[in-house]
Amino acid sequence: MNGETMLRVANVGDEAAMESVRDALDRLDIAYEHVRSEPDDRFPQTAYFYVPDDSADDVERVLATLSQEHGFDAEVL
């Protein structure tokens, strides 16, 4: 997608952990889109989101902190 980049968050252990990722993105007040999760029927999952290019640094900073708390492996691709 033009103007957007992919955020990958691996090791999402349950629905509460997924919600913590969404909450972190909401706090940044950015437009994001959950694209898919693999596998989609059980945990742990790897979740993929589109985030705005101009927010990539903020997303990486926030997800780095969240990753330490929850054991995620998150990166902006």
18: domain CATH number?
3.30.70.260
Nearest to 77 by CA among 58, 42, 53, 44: 53
pTM over 0.85: yes
- Gap between the Cα atoms of 39 and 46, Å rounded: 7
CA 4 to the chain's CA centroid? 13
The range of the structural domain enclosing residue 39 comes to 4-76
Total domains present in the chain: 1
The stretch 32-36 carries a mean pLDDT of 96
Model confidence at 2: pLDDT above 70 = no
